[in-house]
Chain A
Amino acid sequence: MSKDPTRFTRRSVAIGGGITVALGLAAVGINAPHWFRAKTAYDDLLDKLIDRDAAETVGHAIIRTASFDTKQVAADLRQRIGTRTLADVAREDLVGNRLIEAKGWVLPETLGMLCVVAAQPA
Chain B
Amino acid sequence: MSAFIDARTVPAGTVLEPDLAIFGGGAVGIALALALAHSPISIMLFESGGMDFDAATQALYAGSQAGVKYLPLDACRMRYLGGSTNHWGGWSRPLDPIDFEKRDWVAHSGWPFGIETLRPYLPRAQSLCELGDWIYDEATPRMAALAPLLRLGEGGVYTSWFQFSKTRDDVLPTHFGTRYADDLKRIPNLRLYLHANATALKLNGNASGLESVAIATLSGRKFTVKPRTAVLAMGAIENARLMLASNVGNQNDLVGRYFADHPIPRDTATLVSFAGDIAGYYFNAGLLSATQIRATLAPTDAFKRSRKVLGSLTTIETPVEMDDLARAAVVTAAEAIGADASNAKAFSVGCGLELEPDPERRFVLTHERDALGLPRLKLINRVSDSDFLRYRETMKELGRQLLAAGTGMIRLNYDTRAEWESALDWGDHHLGTTRMHVDPKQGVVDADSKVHGLSNLFVAGSGVFPTYSASNPTLNLIALTLRLAGHLRKLPR
Interface residues of A (CB under 8 A from B): 49-51, 53-55, 57-58, 61, 86-87, 90-91, 94-95, 97, 99, 101-108, 111, 115
Contact = CB atoms under 8 A, between A and B. Distances in A.
Contacts of A50: 335
B332 interface: yes
B404 A51 contact: no
Contact of B324 (A57, A91, A108): A57
Interface in B51-77: none
Nearest to A55: B332
Interface of B: 153, 269-270, 324-329, 331-333, 335-338, 396, 399-400, 403-404, 409-413, 415
B332 A104 contact: no
Nearest to A61: B325
Given A54-B331, A91-B337, A94-B153, A103 B400 contact: no
A97 B399 CA distance: 11
A102 B412 contact: no
25 contacts: A49-B336, A50-B335, A51-B335, A53-B328, A54-B328, A54-B329, A54-B331, A55-B332, A57-B325, A58-B325, A58-B329, A58-B332, A61-B325, A87-B336, A87-B337, A87-B338, A94-B400, A94-B404, A103-B411, A104-B415, A106-B403, A107-B329, A111-B333, A111-B336, A115-B332
Contacts of A57: 324-325, 328-329
A91 B404 contact: yes
B336 A86 contact: yes
A104 B327 CA distance: 13
Contacts of A86: 336
8 A-B pairs with least C-beta separation: A106-B399, A57-B328, A54-B328, A105-B329, A54-B331, A104-B411, A104-B412, A94-B404
A120 to B, nearest CB: 16
B72 to A, nearest CB: 32
B331 A108 contact: no
Given A58-B332, A94-B403, 9 more contacts: A51-B335, A87-B336, A90-B337, A103-B325, A103-B411, A105-B333, A106-B396, A107-B333, A108-B333
Contacts of A58: 325, 328-329, 332
B402 to A, nearest CB: 8
A115 B180 CA distance: 62
A54 B404 contact: no
Given A61-B325, A106-B399, A106-B411, A95 B332 contact: no
Q: Taking each of B326, B335, B336, B410, which has the highest tally of chain A beta carbons within 10 Å of its own beta carbon?
A: B336
A106 B332 contact: no
A29 B318 CA distance: 27
Contacts, number: 83
A51 B332 contact: yes
Given A90-B336, A111-B332, A106 B327 contact: no
Nearest to A111: B336
Contacts of A105: 325-326, 329, 333, 409-411
Given A54-B331, A58-B332, A87-B336, A106 B409 contact: yes
Contacts of A104: 269-270, 411-413, 415
A115 B412 CA distance: 19
A34 B361 CA distance: 58
Contacts of B328: 51, 53-55, 57-58
A107 B337 CA distance: 11
Contact of B396 (A61, A91, A99, A102): A99
A95 B405 CA distance: 11
A54 B403 CA distance: 18
A101 B409 CA distance: 11
Contacts of A108: 333, 336-337, 403
B400 A97 contact: yes
A86 B332 CA distance: 11
Contacts of B415: 104
A47 to B, nearest CB: 13
Contacts of B335: 49-51
Given A50-B335, A90-B336, A90-B337, A102 B400 contact: no
Contacts of B333: 105, 107-108, 111
Contact of A49 (B324, B327, B332, B337): B332
Nearest to B403: A94
Contacts of B400: 94, 97, 99, 106
B422 to A, nearest CB: 15
A93 B442 CA distance: 44
Q: Which of A58, A90, A94 has the most CB of B within 10 A?
A: A94
A102 B325 contact: yes
A108 to B, nearest CB: 7
A58 B330 CA distance: 10
A21 to B, nearest CB: 21
Contacts of A115: 332
